[in-house]
Structure formats: structure tokens, C-alpha cells
Chains A and B, each alone.
Chain A
Amino acid sequence: GNSVTQMEGPVTLSEEAFLTINCTYTATGYPSLFWYVQYPGEGLQLLLKATKADDKGSNKGFEATYRKETTSFHLEKGSVQVSDSAVYFCALTPKSNYQLIWGAGTKLIIKP
């Protein structure tokens, strides 16, 4: 079946540190991969996505590369800010399907 596993949180970093949040998946076929973010008190927002192997999604300084050989979609940012504090969710959807399969979320805390 389809599943997503992401690193447990909370992840606590200092401002300007390098960020990696790991995400691995199992899926039949070639799913699309997503990162969503939920800032405190707000709804889930699509952060970035990739729809095929070796694609790199990027937005707001965040990047993630679709690695089919390692079935991974790790989220990275070179220099985090306090405003990046949020919960980050990795998700996938099988091709031709609208149902999102989600990881459990990783809470990120950035200290000034």
C-alpha cells in the first residue's frame, strides 16, 4: 500500500541554521509528492510539489527533490528564520487519484 514516513519532531534550530526534514514513501507506480505547511492558527498550505523523478520543487527558500531510487522527498532550507516555525507535512498522491496520503507531520521550532 501507499504510505509516508517523516522524521519525528519537534525539530529545534537556531535562526540561520540549515534545515533538513526527512520524508520517505512507499507507493505503487509513480506518485506525486508534496510538502504542506501549517503555521500556527492557520490552514494547511501547499509549500512545494514534484510530480516525477528528479523533479525539484521549490518555494520560499525551501527545496525538495523527488528521489525515486531512495523513495525520498527530503525538505531542505539553507537558512531558516523564526517565521518558518510551523508544522510541515509530507504527502503523496498516486497518479490519477485525488486522495492525499500524509505523513504524521514534523513540528519545527526556530529560536532567535
Chain B
Amino acid sequence: NAGVMQNPRHLVRRRGQEARLRCSPMKGHSHVYWYRQLPEEGLKFMVYLQKENIIDESGMPKERFSAEFPKEGPSILRIQQVVRGDSAAYFCASSPVGSTNEKLFFGSGTQLSVL
């Protein structure tokens, strides 16, 4: 049973481009969480999704950021018109049940660098 898979591991974008980060949860997991880690800081919650539903996006910036978790395929975190301040490590976690972090499994993260 493969773990949570995130790709790409490293993503380089120029200012103004779009970044798409993918997260494939563990088999049987229908709940996905995205966290962001800015340099020298702890991880910060961004969004919690179930299949085809956004449950909680209270940590997501209001503009340029969006997330989805379709019925088929990975969860996608999309950042439009990236700026240097978006440079960070983005972590995805999945769980088989919702509203709990007791059974969370994390991916290795995507390091986004904006030039």
C-alpha cells in the first residue's frame, strides 16, 4: 500500500505563472488536508477536502489559491499568478476518516520555488 504521493517534489515557477501541486491519498482514504510551510516557520493549515467537497478552506488565501479533490484522480492545489512569497513547502495529508488527525498520513511535500 503506497503512502501519500505528492508530485512534483520540486517545482520552479517564474512570477505570474501557475503552479499545480498534486496529492494522491493513500488507498481507501477519502479525506485530504493541505498544509504550507514557509521558510523558518511551522506548517500552517490551508484546506480540508473530501471527495468533491471542500469542507474547510479557512487557511487558504482568498485570492489566487484553489483546491479540489475530484471523484477520480488526485487532489490538486492550484496557485495562479505566483509571487515570490508563495515559495514554500506544501504538504498533503490523507486520512480514512474525517475531522480527526489521529490517523493522518503525510506525503513528502512539494517544494515550490518562485523566481
Contact = CB atoms under 8 A, between A and B. Distances in A.
Contacts of B43: 89, 91, 100, 102
Interface residues of B, number: 26
Given A43-B106, A43-B107, A104 B40 contact: yes
A57 interface: no
B72 interface: no
B33 interface: yes
B101 A93 contact: yes
A100 B104 CA distance: 11
Interface residues of A, number: 20
A98 B48 contact: yes
A61 interface: no
9 smallest CB-CB distances across A and B, nearest first, come from: A102-B42, A44-B106, A43-B106, A102-B43, A99-B45, A43-B108, A104-B42, A43-B107, A103-B42
21 contacts: A4-B42, A34-B101, A36-B106, A42-B108, A43-B4, A43-B91, A43-B109, A44-B91, A44-B93, A44-B106, A46-B104, A89-B42, A91-B42, A98-B99, A98-B100, A99-B59, A100-B104, A102-B37, A102-B42, A103-B42, A104-B42
B19 to A, nearest CB: 20
Contacts of A46: 104
A43 B105 contact: yes
Nearest to B31: A98
A98 B41 contact: no
